[in-house]
Structure 1
C-alpha cells in the first residue's frame, strides 16, 4: 500500500506539478501578474473584431517605408533571439535530444537564457502590430482564424514560459520559431519594397513548409522529454506544448493544402 501511494505521489509530481514562478523575473516588465498580459491579449481581440468595422468606410492606409522598417526590426529581433537561444544552449552544453531542465542561478549564461526567454515573450507583444497593419491596409483576408489564433494566444503562453520555465528544453521551440521568423519577416520586408521586388519573391510557400517542419520537430522533442525518466523539466509543460503545437501543425498543414496544393490542382484542371 505504501509503495502504491509513493507511485501516485511521484506520478502527480511529474504530470500535474507546475513549478513556482522564477524569482529572477520578479521585477521585469509585465512579469509580475498574468492579468496584464491577458488584458493585452483581450485588447488585441477587440481591435481585430472592431478594427475592420472602423476601417469599413475609410481608405486603406499605405506606409511602405514604415512597413519595411517594421519588418526589418523584427528580422533583427528574431535573429537576436534565435542566436541567443541556441548560442547559450551550445555554450552551456544543453542536452539537445535529452532532458534539459531550466538552469537556475545567476551565472552569466543562466541569466542570458532567462533574459532571452523574456525577449521571446515580448516579441510576441510587438507582433500584434502585424494584425493592426492588416486592418489599416484593409487586408482583412489576412485576418484568418489561423492568424488571429496564433497571434492572440502566443503572448500569454510565452509569458508562462518566461515566468516559470525560462529556458531548459523550451530553447528548441523558441530558437526554431525565431529562426523561421527571420525568413518570414525578411520576405515581408522585401515585399514592402514594391512590385518590382515582389515578382522575385517565389519562396513564400517554402516558409510555410519550414513552419510545418518546425512544429513537427517541437512536438517530437517535447514527446521525448515527456517520456524520458528521470527528467527535471515539468511534464505538464511538455504535455501542453505537444497539444498546443499540435493545433498549429494542423492549421498550418491545412493552410498549405488549401492555399498551394488545392489551388495548384484546380489551376491544372482548368488548363486542361
Structure 2
C-alpha cells in the first residue's frame, strides 16, 4: 500500500517537473523545487525559532551600514529588473492585454526568461528583511503576514518561472519591482539616521503606492475573465495573481483606514505627550506594529493605555485617551 502511494506521488512529481521550461534548467535554484524549498524552510526555522533564541540574551545588533548598503543595492537591482521587463516585452511588443509567453530561443524570449528568473532570485535576497528584524530584535515587525509574504511569494514564483517566464503573468512582477525601487529607497534613507528624517515626509504615501500596485495587478488579471479567447498558456497563474492582488488590497486598505482615517498611527515626534509636569498622568503606549512585505506595508495598531507619572514620591494614574 505504502509503495503504491509512494510510486503515485513520484509519478505526479515527475509529471510536474516534465512540464517546466527547459531554457531555465541551468539557472541557479531552478534544477528542482527541493533546493528552493529547503532555503525557505531554513528561513522559517531561523525566523521562528533559532534566531529569537540566539538573540534572547543579546543586545540588538547595530546594522546601520549593512542596512544602507542592502537597501540601496535592492533599489538598483529592482530598477534594473523593471528596465529588463520593459525591454524584453512590455515596451517592445506586448499588448498589455492577452500576451502569451514566448518559449522560443529568440533574443527577446531568452531576455524575458532571464529577467523573470532574476525577479525570482531577488525574492530570496529579500529574505534578509526578516533576518535584519531578528538581529535588531524588532519582534513586533515579524508578523504572520510578513513571514507568509516572504516565504509564499518566492515559492509560488518558482513555479511561475518554471512554467511561464513571461507573458501577461509577468505584469505583476514588473509592477512589484517598480514599487520596490521606491520602497527600498525609503528604507535606505530611514536607515541612514535621524538627519534624513526630514526627507521621509512621504511615508504616508507608501501605502497609497502599494494600494495602486494591487489595483493595477488585479485589473490587469481581470481582463482575462472578459476575453472571448486568450492563448496565454497557464491560466492557473492568472487566477492566483488575481487572488493575490485582491487579498493584499483588502489588507492594505484596512491599514490605511485604521492608520489615517481613524488616526491610530502616531508620528514619532509626538510620542512623548507629558513633559515638565504638564501631562496630568496620561501618555501613549504603542502596542504592536506589524510590517508586511511585496509585496511590504506597515500595519500599526496603537492603543493608548496610560502611563504612570511619578512626581515627589506620589503616583498619578493616567487616564486612557485615544491617539
Relative to the length of structure 2, the TM-score reads 0.73
The superposition leaves residues 226-248 of structure 1 with CA deviations (integer Å, 9 ceiling, x where unpaired) of: 44232121221111111222222
Report the CA distance between 1:182 and its aligned residue.
0.3
Report the CA distance between 1:18 and its aligned residue.
11
| Residues 18 and 236, structure 1, Cα contact 8 Å, conserved in 2 | no
Report the CA distance between 1:259 and its aligned residue.
3.3
The equivalent residue for 2:281 is none
Report the CA distance between 1:90 and its aligned residue.
4.0
The superposition leaves residues 203-258 of structure 1 with CA deviations (integer Å, 9 ceiling, x where unpaired) of: 12211111111111111111212442321212211111112222222222223333
The SS at the match of 1:203 is helix
| Residues 78 and 182, structure 1, Cα contact 8 Å, conserved in 2 | yes
The equivalent residue for 1:177 is 176
Distance 1:52 1:27 in 2: 36
The equivalent residue for 2:88 is 88
The equivalent residue for 1:147 is 146
The equivalent residue for 2:206 is 207
The equivalent residue for 1:38 is 37
| Residues 133 and 139, structure 2, Cα contact 8 Å, conserved in 1 | yes
The equivalent residue for 2:291 is none
Distance 2:58 2:87 in 1: 47
The superposition leaves residues 15-43 of structure 1 with CA deviations (integer Å, 9 ceiling, x where unpaired) of: xx999211101111111111221221111
Greater fraction strand? 2
- Tell me, yes or no, if structure 1 residue 114 matches structure 2 residue 107: no
Q: Map of 1:45-56 to 2, 5 A cutoff?
A: 45-50=44-49, 51-56=51-56
Task: Give the 4+ runs in structure 1 shifted more than 6 A.
Answer: none
The superposition leaves residues 162-185 of structure 1 with CA deviations (integer Å, 9 ceiling, x where unpaired) of: 111101002310111000000000
Which structure is larger by alpha-carbon Rg, 1 or 2?
2
The equivalent residue for 1:6 is none
The superposition leaves residues 104-162 of structure 1 with CA deviations (integer Å, 9 ceiling, x where unpaired) of: 21111111100000000000000000000011011111112221111111111111111
Q: Which 10-residue stretch deviates more, 254-263 or 56-65?
A: 254-263
Distance 1:65 1:266 in 2: 27
**Which structure 2 residue ranges, 5 or more long, are not aligned?**
1-15, 268-320
- Tell me, yes or no, if structure 1 residue 261 matches structure 2 residue 252: no
Q: How many residues align?
A: 254
If asked which structure has higher relative contact order (CA below 8 Å, sep 6+), I would say 1
Distance 1:52 1:232 in 2: 48
| Residues 86 and 92, structure 2, Cα contact 8 Å, conserved in 1 | no
